[in-house]
Amino acid sequence: CGTCDARLASVLATGRQVDIYLVDSQGKDEILRQWAHAHSIPVEKVRSRHITLNHDAGRWLRFGEGKMPVVLQQGADGWRVAAF
């Protein structure tokens, strides 16, 4: 979605390390790779683990309150919504 793409660009523009969890990747790494390629995620940043690509495993449903896109942040209390 356009809003998702804009949020992704905003998060990546900060230059901070980021863990991306892809909803509905069906546990398939190839789907993660295709998505990353389509969204111009720099391969070198993934290889250096500056950006990680992960299968969601239910975090969005559990913590994202059913809204998308959502930015979650893990803190001492666990996962929390940082931005919608």
pLDDT in tens, the chain (84 residues): 788 888 889 889 988 888 888 888 899 999 999 999 999 999 999 999 999 898 988 877 777 777 777 777 777 887 777 765
Helix (H) or strand (E) holding 81: strand 78-83
pLDDT for res 45: 93
Pairwise CA distance, residues 77 & 5, whole Å = 28
The count of domains in the chain is 1
In which domain, by residue range, is 40 found?
2-83
Closest alpha carbon to 41 in 2, 5, 3: 5
Q: Quote the tokens at residue 67.
A: 């809204």
